[in-house]
Amino acid sequence: MASAGASNKNQEVETNASSIPADACKRVKVGVLGATGAVGQRFLCLLHNHPYFRVAAVGGSSRSAGKRFAEAVTWRQDDDKALTEEILQMTVLECTCPALFRQKGCALIFSALDAAAADELEELFAREGFMVFSNAKSHRMDPDVPILLPYVNAPLLDVVRAQAHYVKARGGIVTNANCASTGLVVALRPLLDRWGITRLSIATLQAISGAGYPGLSAMDMVDNVIPFISGEEEKLEREPQKMLGSLGSAGRSIQSASFESVAMCHRVPVVDGHTVTVTVDFPSNAFPDTADPLKVAAEVTSVLGAFEPPKEVTALPSCPTQVTPFRLSQVILVCEDPSRPQPRIDRLRGNGMSVSVGPVKAKFLVHSKTWSVKFTTLVHNTVLGAAGCAILNAELALHRGMIRDPNNQDGILEPVSCP
């Protein structure tokens, strides 16, 4: 079981990328849509010196198009290593013209567009033969589009092969989840596999960075909590079921899991890191009625700490691993300290690609004669909850040979042999 005491364990976790030389394989040229925005900037940070991908084009709105990136962007990330001279001198391309990105040699696209623009533009790029890895909500609930989080649902990537644009031109759309759903679903996967789930009760404490920039005013957020985030409750009540579902008939759609969810969402004065508390109700046969609550909690904790993604996923560069000769997965980090997880301490664990889970508490519900457990999860909302997950999704697609070769209309880039 992966566990954490009171001290910060960030130094003990890395991602596989740090151990792979940048020239270990021929890097694939990629484009970033919405590159001047907050999530777009996070994409650039995470793609800097990535072992598989190299940013070859940046896209922006009509206001930014034609300008040098240095002139178009107001950089708001702590890390400025991504602002290489090559990136700063790039001309911002108009996001309505896929041909410009093809001319730059891009094989795939990362989309940090807002939902209003993403709906049409991501479809446009997919139609032109690009695999689009999107952070937007626009296509998440399309029946043949996966809400992909490879730690927990890597098989769902195959539904892309049924998309019309993939069949015709090897283009397609892959989305990642709402930022608050991400950490929650990682923790739910091992519980669903072991015991099943009947119902979730969810409450979120979401960081202000999730609202984008400039976001909410200081007058709204200082000394305050806002118990409403437009559209968030609906996402949390629908997305986990699809993410934890299975491929449907002939692999052409996704059959959602059947548990129910109720959610309340709150914006809190924290910069980064979404905290989600959840109560999970199990089926009546999960544990004996007379079981000891402490033993039930201990068993659930053990299952969480032992969770391992598929081997093809743990080998991907962005998957967090413990620095040991065995490179143990560090996707779920269970905190033993009852005061953890905390955003300031835990959000960057695993370079922001891990999910921290607080101590589990169990209770037998007399009226329904079922067991429930409650715990807290924490995820970095702009890393694993946004750009980091999209990059992990693209790594998996490349590894599976699903990316079209930009230099050969009928060719596919060779699957990457992950170290």
CA–CA dist 87, 82 (Å, integer):
8
Catalytic residue, candidates 45, 95, 106, 179: 179
CA–CA dist 299, 241 (Å, integer):
24
Q: How far is CA 282 from CA 86, 133, 170, 216, 288, in A?
A: 53, 34, 41, 38, 12
Rounded CA Rg of the chain: 21
Per the annotation, the verdict on 179 as an active-site residue is yes
346 phi/psi in degrees, rounded to 5: -110, -10
Residue 70's CB is within 10 A of a number of other CB atoms, namely 14
Catalytic residue, candidates 165, 274, 380, 399: 274
CA–CA dist 355, 76 (Å, integer):
24
List, as one string, the DSSP characters of 58-94.
EEE-TTTTTSBHHHH-----S--TT--HHHHTPBPEE
C-beta separation of 278 from 304 below 8 A = no
C-beta separation of 38 from 213 below 8 A = yes
Name beta bridge partners: 377: 276, 357
Per the annotation, the verdict on 274 as an active-site residue is yes
User: Is the CA virtual torsion 384, 230, 240, 133 positive or negative?
Assistant: negative
Q: How far is CA 36 from CA 20, 100, 272, in A?
A: 28, 18, 19
- Known catalytic residues are 179, 274
